[in-house]
Amino acid sequence: MPHPDLNLLFALDALLSEGGVTRAGRRLGLSQSAMSRTLARLRETTGDPLLVRVGRGLAPTPRALELRGRVSELVQEAEAALRPSQALDLARLTRTFTLRTSEGFIEGFGAPLLEWVRRQAPGVRLRFVQKTDRESAGLRDGSIDLETGVVGEMTSPEVRAQALFHDRFVGVVRPGHPLARRKVTLDRYAKGSHVLVSRRGDAHGAIDEALKPLGVQRDIVAIVGGFSSALALARGSDLIASVPARHTHALRTGMHSFPLPLPPLEITVSLLWHPRQDNDPAHRWLRQGVREVCAALPE
């Protein structure tokens, strides 16, 4: 059986990433006609058209979408295997790392992490992108370098995960709020007006699930997408925000925080990455930085 032409993998990666023959050819240093011939070879090899005409552009077929992440991963692994091993020179390192995190992580840890990075590697840039779901596709296809979050059923099994810290939910109200004057009981907490944090806009969350066995239901009058928004509403009204303590340490300055009058609600926030990044010196350095910054902030 003849060996496949592995150069086609690099061509397929370029075509699926760029979404067009001309851009893919420019990326590989090939003419449009040469790239078109390569696409024809790929179609013959895979038995699929891969890219089909839609209006003035090209759109990937279902088979192409299925291959995109896998091909990208293979190409990156091949490039890493052939790259010369070099000692990490942080002073000369020029690189952009993409971190997929929640709004709360950026607010609580973003500034200290940037300071840690700039102090050691001024040529490194951090790109923070919002975490709108728990899919791991970005780590697999290489568009995301690091991710923070709670490991769950949606986390891909091949992804590496390391616990960063444990966090617990607390209640937060403005100074002078009735709940700030004396001990918060379950009845007083439930009878207040609440703001719920839900990235997906759900009408209930973990706290509501914890209240169910107690036969209690809280009054949710506002739903927002992030902790800072919830605390902004609580700061300017009589709403009660229930947020993770460490994530919101700086944001809660000047507000009154109290333990929730229900069984402890705790989460473990982890650092996630793809195993192909395990031995990348720069990636290991950044992972260490995230761990140090998270460990340094108060409980």
Residue ranges and CATH numbers for the domains of the chain are 7-82 (1.10.10.10), 100-160+274-296 (no CATH), 167-267 (3.40.190.10)
| β-strand partners of 52 | 59
How many other CB atoms are found less than 10 A from the CB of residue 71?
Answer: 22
| pLDDT (0 to 100) of residue 293 | 93
**pLDDT tens figures, 65-94:** 888 878 887 887 777 667 666 678 999 999
pLDDT mean over 180-197: 94
Structure tokens at 102: 């929640």
Angle between helices 32-46 and 7-18 (to 10 degrees): 110
The distance from CA 249 to its chain's CA centroid, rounded to whole angstroms, is: 20
Band (133; pLDDT cuts 50, 70, 90): low
For residue 298, pLDDT over 80 is answered with no
For residue 1, pLDDT over 60 is answered with no
**pLDDT tens figures, 194-238:** 999 987 778 888 899 999 999 999 999 999 988 889 999 999 999
Average pLDDT score over the chain:
87
Angstrom distance (rounded) from CA 214 to CA 260: 13
| pLDDT (0 to 100) of residue 299 | 60
Angstrom distance (rounded) from CA 284 to CA 281: 5
How many other CB atoms are found less than 10 A from the CB of residue 251?
Answer: 20
**36-60: burial string, b at 16+ Cβ within 10 Å, e else:** eebbeebeeeeebebbeeeeeebeb
For residue 177, pLDDT over 90 is answered with yes
Exposure of 115 by Cβ count < 10 A (0-12 exposed, 13-18 middle, 19+ buried)? exposed
3-class SS of residue 164:
strand
